Structure 1
Amino acid sequence: MMALILLAILAVIAAGYLTKINISFYAIATAYLIACFGMDLSAGDLVKLWPVKIFFVILSVSLFYNVALANGALEKLAGHLLYQCRHFPNILPLAVFAAATLIAGLGAGFYTVLAFMAPLTLLLCQKTKMNLVIGSMAVNYGALAGANFMTSQSGVIFRGLLETSGIAKEAAFGYTSAIFVTTLLVPVVILGGYSLWNRRMSAISIQAEKPEAFTTKQKQSIFLIVLLMAIVLTFPILHLIWPQNDWVSWANAKLDIGFLAIVFTLVSMMMKLADERKVIALVPWGTLLMICGMGILIGIAVKVGVVEAFSGWVSGNVAFWLIPVVLCCIGAIMSVFSSTLGVVAPTLFPIIPTIAAYSGLNPALLFVAVVVGAQATAISPFSSGGSLILGSAPEGIDKNALLNQLLFKAIPIGLFAAVIAVILAQLVM
């Protein structure tokens, strides 16, 4: 049964990739056949494996942040940030990265930021003669790093997966913070190094028009986002500082980002900051289904002991100091053809607590290794990030050449940097 489920997981990922059909449909159908006909579980038992908490949190957070997307606040903010760099052309890659990070960190999420910033970035590359690979890496890394922020889309998903894996709420916050910091520093080093190396030879020239001023509703949306972030982040930090304070502990336990996001969405709707129908339509339903569908299939794998068996094999056959690098490379290979949020994290996160217990390694290091590796290759043309970038290429850019550059330049650079980052992370974690 273990071998059957492992083969099923691989088959589901391959089928989704080959047919371009959301893998959630394959995952749910496969889980049903295995659980009800191979394991004699009831349909009710299978439904209980649907990750209700993760579904609710992603839905509620997306609804709130979609208000600022629907009224154009976040897109306009990106334009203002890039405009401020018109006199500093050599740092344009860092400026693109910073803009994408900030917008994603304010809640837009990875896919949404790429959807409206990838065309802008490739157009900038065309107009300013910025290197296409560097431009693509800058916007991709920025969207990833910002989305990993503890209150943004990927960060919220990671926290939900961690808590589902049995990690305490406070520890999950700390591990997610480590993921965010690491995925922020790695691209800064890569892009900063490129900017320094290229400062004398660069032919980049920026001629940008000043964006329009923010409207009142757009300002109010950004204010509400900052306020929600402040509330959600303040109490976990206070609890880390004063763990014995009863009031801080009580407040930290009661505050939930999912329900707070619904409250803030209601406030936004009452203030008429955006069209409600557009806000609902912008929910990333495909990602939501993919995460929950894979969650059911992984839940079946947990029930038959696949997680424990694989964790024991890794711990027994790989030198302890190599385990983080191995997890990094496994995540990277999986991410070339699949989604970090929908496949890599739901598949690998459940095995990490057991591997950490076997090996004595810091769980934070292992979670960081998986995400850093997966996001190093997320720019693959066969994955969601790279395909969005490739599809955003304007006329005048050779898409076949760009595909080869993403595959044979961007991925090796990203993976090399990820492995080095994980090795260095072992010194501090």
Structure 2
Amino acid sequence: MSVEMLFLVSLVAALCLGFLFKVNIGYFALTFAFMNGVFAYGLSIRKVAGMWPIYLFLMLFIVTTFYGFAISNGTLVKVAETIIYKNRNRPALLPFVLFAICMLFAGTGAGAPAAFAFLSPLVMAVCIKSQISRVLATVLIFCGATIGSQFPFSVGGMIVQQVAESNGFQSDGMAVCMNVLLNSAVTMIIFFIITYFVTGGHKTRHVSIGKPEPFTPVQRKTLWIVGLVFFFTVVPALAKAMFPEVASLRKFAGFCDVTVICTIGIILCSLCKVASEKEAIAKVPFAIIIMICAMGTLIGTAVSGGLVNSLSVWVQENVTSGAAPYFLLAAACTMSFFVATLGVVIPTLALLVAPLAASTGMEPIIIFSLISVGGFYTGSSPFSTCGAMALAGLEDQKEADRLFKKLLFLPIAGLVWLEFCLYTGILRNWVG
């Protein structure tokens, strides 16, 4: 069996077994990684185990643990409630306020999954009171949270950067991350605005919302710590970009890695007793982290067996330069309808970046954006976390059934929109 066929069979088998037995597909992927590595590629168990992406695992664990403190003591949700209350007398702008809240929540580093889980009930409750379309509510949650998650210091942005660097683009990781962020922001903001007018968001009614309780001393401490972490993660990186010739600044910015700063943030949160460490760790999405890292291990064993070379030959023989961008968008959207974008779609399709760039002349940065942004647009499907949480926020089962049917078609509308953006040049290389 060829290396690409063995990888494809292993990937599909892991997905099917995971769905069938309702077990994290990461465990099956890791099992196939060991089986393929030892019996097909002649690797040792230790060699396969060494392909586990240690830094990515550590980074995701530390970042999500830190924000687990702010989530578990209610600080981030209280911020969202306060912003909504202050904008209660601007009904037509309320969807934009909710959009911004979702983006900021995910953008602080918590990531899209946390925003979906903790903000969806709040946003849907506000939308029900103000008669905002449930479709618009779902779109603003998934678009806002997805854009925020792609910030370089948030979970999605870090994963995209690491995937790019692990696929041979070590010096372009940040550029890839920023281009995915900009393409996500431009296409999703326009998509949200179109949905806003199509669903009558400009006719939103005044909503009566109770004044939230003041921030507790613990929550105020948490805000200060989150602010410090945000400052030392972002400002040194910006200063380094503005003054690259200053050696001391480069060294300091290198130390201010998000993993290091969030580790210090965890210590501060623990010393200030803003929440218990046990509660914070309970908020860590271990299932997602294990899936992402296990898929990375499976891909790593396939790459060691020559998968990239095999894909290069296949791409050169079967994909034309004109059809490649549209094919990638459709492939990413279709795959993401059934599997996780960050955990499966991006790491898998990233293997096509180098061969496609070589055979079609496309810029690797563009290819990464097509794969990533294409996968994100199925975040509104009823089978995704965002779509499922939106449905869970509706107590009326008939209304939930109607929304379910609408959400089945929303990813299709998203794909058509993306193909249009690609054709017109809206989706492009913004950092080159």
TM-score by length of 1: 0.92
Q: 1:412 deviation in Å?
A: 2.1
Query: Secondary structure of the residue that 1:366 maps to in structure 2?
Result: helix
1:173 matched residue in structure 2: 174
2:149 matched residue in structure 1: 147
2:387 matched residue in structure 1: 386
Separation of aligned partners in 2, 1:201 and 1:255? 43
1:105 matched residue in structure 2: 107
User: What amino acid is the match of 1:417?
Assistant: W
Q: 1:39 deviation in Å?
A: 2.7
- Which ranges in structure 1 are unaligned for 5 or more consecutive residues? none
1:413 matched residue in structure 2: 413
Q: 1:197 deviation in Å?
A: 5.5
1:363 matched residue in structure 2: 364
Q: 1:297 deviation in Å?
A: 0.8
Q: Are 1:54 and 1:161, in contact at CA under 8 Å, matched by a contact in 2? A: no
Q: Are 2:378 and 2:414, in contact at CA under 8 Å, matched by a contact in 1? A: yes
The alignment covers a number of residue pairs equal to 427
2:83 matched residue in structure 1: 81
1:289 matched residue in structure 2: 290
Q: Are 2:63 and 2:110, in contact at CA under 8 Å, matched by a contact in 1? A: no
2:137 matched residue in structure 1: 135
1:268-283 map, 5 Å: 268-283=269-284
Separation of aligned partners in 2, 1:415 and 1:295? 26
Query: Secondary structure of the residue that 2:61 maps to in structure 1?
Result: helix
208-217 or 258-267: bigger deviation? 208-217
1:216 matched residue in structure 2: 217
1:377 matched residue in structure 2: 378
Q: 1:305 deviation in Å?
A: 2.1
Select 2:428's aligned residue among 409, 423, 426.
Answer: 426
387-396 or 126-135: bigger deviation? 387-396
Query: Secondary structure of the residue that 1:337 maps to in structure 2?
Result: coil
Q: Are 1:17 and 1:338, in contact at CA under 8 Å, matched by a contact in 2? A: no
Change (3 A) 1:174 1:223: farther
Deviations 1:288-330 (A, max 9, x none): 1100111111112211222332244335533334433322221
2:13 matched residue in structure 1: 11
Q: 1:64 deviation in Å?
A: 1.1
1:44-83 map, 5 Å: 44-83=46-85
Q: 1:148 deviation in Å?
A: 1.3
Q: 1:67 deviation in Å?
A: 1.2
Separation of aligned partners in 1, 2:56 and 2:113? 18
Q: 1:48 deviation in Å?
A: 0.7
358-367 or 393-402: bigger deviation? 393-402
Separation of aligned partners in 2, 1:230 and 1:388? 31
Change (3 A) 1:134 1:165: same
Q: 1:150 deviation in Å?
A: 1.0
Query: Secondary structure of the residue that 1:398 maps to in structure 2?
Result: helix
Separation of aligned partners in 2, 1:178 and 1:426? 8
User: What amino acid is the match of 1:22?
Assistant: N
Separation of aligned partners in 1, 2:311 and 2:111? 32
Separation of aligned partners in 1, 2:323 and 2:242? 33
Q: Are 1:327 and 1:370, in contact at CA under 8 Å, matched by a contact in 2? A: yes
Q: Are 2:330 and 2:374, in contact at CA under 8 Å, matched by a contact in 1? A: yes
Separation of aligned partners in 2, 1:234 and 1:346? 29
1:179-198 map, 5 Å: 179-196=180-197
Q: 1:265 deviation in Å?
A: 0.8
Deviations 1:59-96 (A, max 9, x none): 11111111111111101111122223322222332222
Percent identical among aligned pairs is 28
2:339 matched residue in structure 1: 338
RMSD, matched Cα: 2.2
User: What amino acid is the match of 1:328?
Assistant: L
Query: Secondary structure of the residue that 2:379 maps to in structure 1?
Result: coil
Q: Are 1:63 and 1:280, in contact at CA under 8 Å, matched by a contact in 2? A: yes
Query: Secondary structure of the residue that 1:75 maps to in structure 2?
Result: helix
User: What amino acid is the match of 1:110?
Assistant: A
Select 2:93's aligned residue among 88, 91, 94.
Answer: 91
Q: 1:21 deviation in Å?
A: 1.7
1:317-332 map, 5 Å: 317-332=318-333
2:159 matched residue in structure 1: 157
User: What amino acid is the match of 2:284?
Assistant: V
Select 2:117's aligned residue among 92, 115, 118.
Answer: 115
